[in-house]
Amino acid sequence: MSAAEPVADGPLLQTKLHVPRRRRGVIARPRLGARLRRDDLPALTLISAPAGFGKTTLLAEWVAGEGPATGWLSLDARDNDPAVFWTYVVAALRAAVPEVGGSALALLRSHAPMDAVVATLLNELNDVAGDVVLVLDDYHLIEAQELHEAMAFLVEQLPPQIHLVIGSRADPPLPLGGLRGRGDLLEIRAADLRFTPDEAATYLNDTMGLALTGDDVDALEARTEGWIAALQLAALSMQGRDDVTDFIAGFAGDDRFIVDYLADEVLQRQSDEVRAFLLQTSILSRLTASLCTAVTGQGEAKAMLDLLDRANLFLVPLDDRRVWYRYHHLFADVLRARLLDEEPDLLHDLHRRACDWYAAHDDRPEAIRHAMAAEDFPRAAELIELAAPMLRRTRQEATLRRWLEALPGEVFETRPVLAMGLVGAHMATGSIVGVETLLDDVERWFRPVPAGDTSGPALQMVVADHDEFLRLPAQAAVQRAGLALMAGDTAGTIAHANRALDLLVADDGLIRGAAAALIGLADWRLGELEAARSRYADAVATFVRAGFFADSLGCSIALVDIQLALGQLTDAMRTFEAGLALAVEHGPLRGTADMHVGVAELLRERNQLDAALDHLHAGEQLGEHAGLPQNAYRWRVAAARIKQAQGDFAGALELLDQAERVYNTDFSPDVRPIGATRARVQLAQGDVASAVAWVRDRGLAADDDLSYVREYEHITLARTLLAQHTTGRVSQPSADLLGLLDRLLDAAEDGQRAGSATEILILQALAHQARTDTRTALATLEQALERAQAENYVRVFLDEGAPMVALLRAAANQGVAVHHARRLLAEVDDAPSAPSRQAVVDELSSRELEVLRLLRSDLSGPDIARELLVSLNTVRTHTKSIYSKLGVNNRREAVSRSAQLGL
């Protein structure tokens, strides 16, 4: 396996996906097999019990029988990295159903958010025809909260033909209560797994050949309470004894005491050679002959492993050829405790030997683990530095940061490449405390050393990855540009990013693209939109050339925001279409969902609402987490604007409320705050009072100093002032309003913001018309129409409602910008009227009305089925029919539409 790839063809993958073979001395337990009926599995089966109760053995026996396709994954502590965990989960599923998981793997390779991977995987599983079982063994080793949350989502959304089976020492933090209540959980616990007296007798006498009396069996079963590990240890201890009854009477205590006692008994019965081998190899999570030889120095490790396997000394085969093994976890714990007690001075040396073997076999993660355990931090630092580039490319930042933060601080003082890795890990999570100091430490290695000066720090520098060292000056400049941006220092951002471009080594596409994007962000915040557009276009092209396709999509979103402000709708559509083409060519990419949402917004402006909804639905199907940080709010805003165009103002406001809760502009300037968009919908709804309250809360006034960043809010202020006239609150548009619009238009024209200028001209036309100055209104409207025609603006006119329609008819009649005026009027005439409440009621059946009522509740689909005493499929059939008749696509829209109609 390569240095840091989460999954590759190699022994680690094979052993993790391998179903453990039945160990010698294990008896069949049909009563438990009957509980695990393969023809009636729920969504989740949980085998939960402490160590030594036979969980893995039971699952392996069950999987070996006939039944649905099954994928197996043995988990370990390294799988707490989300990228590693989900890559292995997909690999396990593909072992059972090869056609599943291709898109999810592509997302993993494209650095997509893990929630996007899970959502895509669920979509793929939904298309599987037959039943599939996924077994996750040793789930108690998963501690990452992010993984528990993603698994909870997976379990709740599993298609009915997919079944999850978890083996764990403790209950996982999953929604077990809800699953239990819905009948979607099968639980097998310690009480179920304990050997019954009959099973204990069969095991001890028939399997282990001890010929115990009934009283001895009963006493042993009572003392161990059917605990399988203790029974097995006791059986091994009693082999060859004459004093079996006395031995059974001689031990007692709690579980841990019994295991320690019995393990000591087993170890004492081994030869010195076997005992030394067991203790020294207990530091290994997996065993194979050459690795054991390297650690112990014993030359016959293969023969020793075969001997332990035959003696049933808690050795678990991990593959069919018996090349890789592991010790039973409970036995390994005891062995490591004995090693620490008896030979503590040997421990570090054993770990160093294991580190050397793994490093020689190109398994850096395991080598690093053993170097850390040996407290050989210089060796660990070297290995981490060499592994870091691959870890970053495979989205294992969590693993990288965990390793880096486990190193002592002094290690970074002489290792600038490693220190830069820690800077990147902090910046990636937005945790910038201490980053400035780290950058200072890194940059001191670049300062020229005067001739003859031998006291400089360069004599002490340690570098393992020399290619990365050459990139450090440009990397440091980019990170400083990022820090400056976070601090609101646009001049500093531009200066540092330009310095990064000057310091580039060869054609480093990642740093070149990042520097261009940072300069573009700074220009954008300053209102220098044409300069920002140029920089972002350069960043997109650079990332595409360098193969960083997901990063190119991220920059595409910012580029389109700028193009829209510049009034370049056609170019914006080309940008999004190019992004979608990349996603098609290179597999699902992080940001693909954002491309669909963006296209939906552009199609909405062109009044192609059905096509816009198709793209919005495509983005939703990919999952909002298949997008960038802004996706969650952007999707809801786009959906709200489509609702507004459809006249569903209540639905639009509900979506905007949701959008505000997940609002995240990432690093982009906050030029279109949700509050202003909500005020616009409220104005369209006729709720002028709420818009006025928003104006007051924001402290907006007609004589404010104007800036690009608050332009959208000031245009909304102008809309509010205009609405106060149309609702009779003021007699006519004030001079303050007209003056504000004039100043806004001048500012937009000066900044080349044609998109804003068109909207402002429309408001000016409406304001003049409200003053009954039709001549000036039509002259102003003519300018707006001429600008809009080339880019095919539609909704910016139609959203103004009846006053604009009247003005457009006057323009068409008087020969003012006739072509586009008539084009817009045709859109008004072709608009379908919404069905009336009575028409919808007449079309819905009584049962569908009842289902619709329950859809407005918190009940799940299965709960609704139980409430109505029908099958879940019947509920789904009614639901689809309701969606069709209401003209909606999902439950949320159905609830909103029914509320709008008063159903």
Q: Can you tell me the mean pLDDT for 481-491? A: 92
Contact 895, 856 (CB under 8 A): yes
Contact 203, 231 (CB under 8 A): yes
Q: Sorting pLDDT into bands at 50, 70 and 90, what band is 596?
A: very high
The torsion defined by the Cα of 84, 89, 94 and 95, in degrees rounded to 10, comes to: 100
CA distance 516 to 512: 6
DSSP code string of 56-68 = HHHHHHHHHSS-S
pLDDT at 652: 92
pLDDT at 454 over 60: no
Contact 154, 190 (CB under 8 A): no
Cβ neighbors of 223 (< 8 A, separation 6 or more) are 248, 251, 252, 258
pLDDT at 7 over 50: no
Q: Sorting pLDDT into bands at 50, 70 and 90, what band is 679?
A: very high
CA distance 137 to 164: 11
pLDDT at 834 over 60: no
State the pTM of this model: 0.69
* Structural Rg of the chain based on CA atoms: 34
Q: Can you tell me the mean pLDDT for 892-900? A: 71
Contact 718, 744 (CB under 8 A): yes
Instruction: Quick: pLDDT tens for 23-71.
Output: 555 566 778 877 777 667 889 999 988 777 788 888 888 887 777 889 9
Contact 776, 810 (CB under 8 A): no
Domains in the chain: boundaries: 4-193, 197-268, 534-671, 837-900
Which comes out higher in pLDDT, residue 5 or 162?
Answer: 162
> Measured in whole angstroms, how far is the alpha carbon of residue 273 from the centre of its chain?
49
Domain 534-671 = CATH 3.65.10.10: no
- Coil, helix or strand at residue 70: strand
CATH code of the region 4-193: 3.40.50
Say how many CA atoms lie within 13 Å of 47 toward its Cβ: 26
pLDDT at 20 over 80: no
| Nearest residue to 354 (alpha-carbon basis) of 274, 295, 269 | 295
Q: Which two tokens stand for residue 7?
A: 């999954």
Instruction: Quick: pLDDT tens for 164-180.
Output: 999 998 889 998 888 88
- For 409, other C-beta atoms within 10 Å of its C-beta total 9
β-strand pairing of 185-189 with 44-48? parallel
Enumerate the β-bridge partners of residue 315: 327
pLDDT at 642 over 70: yes
Mean pLDDT, the chain, rounded, equals 85
Q: Which two tokens stand for residue 594?
A: 């954002």
The torsion defined by the Cα of 874, 879, 885 and 891, in degrees rounded to 10, comes to: 180
pLDDT at 895: 75
CA distance 641 to 606: 13
Q: Can you tell me the mean pLDDT for 473-495? A: 93
Instruction: Quick: pLDDT tens for 125-178.
Output: 988 888 999 999 999 999 989 899 999 999 988 998 999 999 998 889 998 888
pLDDT at 558 over 50: yes
CA distance 854 to 865: 10
Instruction: Quick: pLDDT tens for 372-416.
Output: 999 999 999 999 999 988 877 666 777 888 899 899 988 998 899
| Nearest residue to 568 (alpha-carbon basis) of 750, 790, 783 | 790
One-letter amino acid identity for 214?
A: G
pLDDT at 632 over 90: no
Q: Can you tell me the mean pLDDT for 271-291? A: 93
Q: Can you tell me the mean pLDDT for 220-241? A: 77
Cβ neighbors of 743 (< 8 A, separation 6 or more) are 706
Contact 227, 255 (CB under 8 A): yes
pLDDT at 584 over 60: yes
Instruction: Quick: pLDDT tens for 314-349.
Output: 788 888 778 899 887 777 888 898 899 889 999 999
Which comes out higher in pLDDT, residue 843 or 819?
Answer: 819
Go through the chain and tell me how many residues it has.
Answer: 903
Q: Which two tokens stand for residue 887?
A: 């003209």
pLDDT at 18: 78
pLDDT at 9: 46
> Measured in whole angstroms, how far is the alpha carbon of residue 127 from the centre of its chain?
22
Q: Which CATH class name applies to 837-900? A: mainly alpha
Q: Can you tell me the mean pLDDT for 649-661? A: 90
Give 80's DSSP letter. G
pLDDT at 2 over 70: no
The torsion defined by the Cα of 577, 579, 580 and 581, in degrees rounded to 10, comes to: 90
Enumerate the β-bridge partners of residue 70: 133
CA distance 223 to 217: 10
pLDDT at 112: 72
| Nearest residue to 176 (alpha-carbon basis) of 317, 45, 57 | 45
pLDDT at 392: 75
